[in-house]
Amino acid sequence: MTNPLLSPSELPFGLPPFAAIQDNHYAEAVDAGLAEHLAEIQAIVDNPEPANFENTALAMERSGRLLQRAAASFFTLVSADASDTIEELETELSPRFTAHQDAVYLNRALYERFAAVDTEGLDSESQRLVEEYLKEFRQSGIQLSDEGQEKLKELNAELARLGTEFGQRVKEGMKSASLLLDDAADLAGLPADEISSAAEAARLAGHEGKFLLTLIQPSSQPALASLENREVRRRLYEASIARGSSGGSLDVLDLVRSMVRLRAEKAALLGFANFAELVVDRQTAPDFGAVRTMLNRLAPPAVRNADAEAAALAESAGHPLEAWDWSYYSAKVRRERYAVDEQAIRPYFELNRVLADGVFFAATSLYGITFQERPDLSGYHEDVRVWEVRNEDGSELGLFLGDYYTRESKRGGAWMNSLVDQAELLGTRPVVINNLNISKPPAGEPTLLTLDEVRTLFHEFGHALHGLFSDVTYPRFSGTNVPRDFVEYPSQVNEMWIMWPEVLANYARHHATGEQLPQDVVDRLNESRLWGEGFATTEYLGAALLDLAWHVLDAGSVPQDPLEFEAKALAAAGVAHTLIPPRYRSGYFQHIFAGDYYAAGYYSYIWSEVLDAETVDWFTENGGLSRANGDRFRTELLAWGNSRDPLESFRTFRGRDAKLEPLLKRRGLE
């Protein structure tokens, strides 16, 4: 059978023909793609003509198309539907991808051609393209001696291997830590549909007649807010926070120590004081000191608010509080103070309605785009749905894929990724995916969301819009290919429409009766907005500061006991709280150890939120949900990707630099 990855897809927008792709096709396509890309680069280097923009930078942008197709499809499966074969292949291929990256950006002859390109007279995007390539060469170690480059290659290869193993152990650990219960009485307090989902999860896992509480990636598990049985809450909480650090084959602390040491060695080799300094050098933050200053400014008021919340919870509980009690009594206090019961409003948040009449409705209202589901197009799993997206004038924009349900073959959390990047140079339009991990109900029953899951749905679609609205010439700059401390900004902005009256009224309707969510409930939800912000900010800052603590170490000071180090690091940062673990502990901190995309960069969420809070204020001041406002945000910010300095895009949109005050007000930290 012909390998469908070896030639461009004939499906609309270049959607990979997943139905025709077999597992063995990936290795063949990656092999061919790596070889083809190296040959294309060698042709650039061997070109006898003097280096210029067309024969060097443009040739580079056009290269690697087969490799890109194969890698995008393969890593989509790695994250969302990984069989044992795919995981074995990931272990084999990840170091090869890293070695290939080194082969490109440690190629002195290629660097010299880029350095010789005369950018005078080029448009600003083309000038930036050359500048960004030169920056990546330097940040990748082109300045090192041959011996230094060989050492760097060894470090990168081992880091790729360890990161892959970390991600695979964590995924398996999350599955094995799920809590199996024999008696439905142990689930007292959970809504009926969640009990049904737990029964279905147990059945699929081979435990007919029992109930399985599966875990989500963060420390705090949603069921803790509802379970009345305190012992069950304790077991669920302890199963969650012990992941990856309890010994056995799924313990990852050995991997953590090794990765931290190797990253410190890499930073030193490249001339940086530590890995955090190396990472921030590539971001929008001016320097590492600015990041640390902001986090340190936020920590004391966040913990102060958390302590005030803890006092209210202890009073409500009538007994000393434990960490597994927090969510349960927080929900109870919210009901007592604000008459808000988040479980009681879940019937108003049915997945399909929230998606069509909330997420898509807000996007249409703002940007004029429309969505047509394409059941004739297949994803990589039967749960994947595909929509064709068009502009207001009917012209094609791209494809959007949604994969919303959890399964054993999918990693935890929620994310967006791109299968095809928009690029005028290549004539490609975007194909983007949103992944969530919502519990799947038994057949025929509705999928009811928590308010937090609604927020995640809107958030991830903000990333999708960033990809869909890309309007750049070069694939390197497309969509979300921006600094990581900017990438969360558009997604956080999209969360503002969740409670926007026009949007909420359109989607928040009872799944059975069609009744609109009562206005008095909406008012109480708005009144209770700041309740729980102490907890939320403290658990986030715990993770962000823990990330930085790991990545300011030098290679000789990596601790033997990571959990002891974790406790001391949180205490030193002022965010150690006996009732609030960090959002991710070291044993399951996938963001920073399953690869390095967010390593020393988990601060990005709150750094981006500074821009987000300013943008929400701008929309509010200028009339909110309107086509004019949407067009401005699209054309001045979302469309640009990284084709100009992202902070310049923000300034062009907002009219000035961002201030911290709107964020402080939003989180109750003034």
What residues are labeled active site?
460
Burial 238-260 (b: 16+ CB within 10 A, else e): ebbbbbbbeeeebbbbebbbbbb
Interhelix angle for 146-176 vs 84-105, to 10°? 160
Nearest Cα to Cα of residue 90 among 8, 171, 178: 171
Decide: 396 and 388 in contact? Cβ < 8 Å.
yes
Instruction: Tell me the angle at which helices 562-573 and 288-317 cross, rounded to the nearest 10 degrees.
Output: 90
Instruction: Annotate 529-565 with three-state secondary structure.
Output: CCCCHHHHHHHHHHHHHHHHHHHCCCHHHCCCCHHHH
Give kind and range of the element (H or E) at residue 503: helix 501-507
Taking CA atoms, 496 is separated from 1, 171, 509, in Å, by 49, 31, 19
Cβ atoms of 610 and 658 closer than 8 Å: yes
What end-to-end distance do the CA atoms of the chain give, in Å? 64
**CA R_g for the chain:** 25
In whole angstroms, give the CA distance from residue 272 to residue 123.
Answer: 33
- Phi, psi (deg, nearest 5) at residue 280: -65, -25
What is the phi/psi pair of residue 81, to 5°?
Answer: -160, 65
* CA angle at 485 for the pair 482 and 490, rounded to the nearest 5°: 70
DSSP string, 613-657: HHHHHHHHHTTSS-HHHHHHHHHHTGGGTTSS-HHHHHHHHHSS-
- Tell me the C-alpha distance between 491 and 462, whole Å: 4
Between CA 55 and CA 52 the distance in angstroms is 6
Which residue type sits at 603?
Y
Tokens, residue 532: 């729980």
Look at phi and psi of residue 453 and say left if phi exceeds 0, alpha if psi is from -120 to 50, else beta. Answer: alpha
Q: How far is CA 338 from the centre of its chain?
A: 32
CB atoms within 10 A of CB 652: 14
Strands (E), 204-351: 211-213
| Residue closest to 333 by CA, chosen among 308, 319, 316 | 316
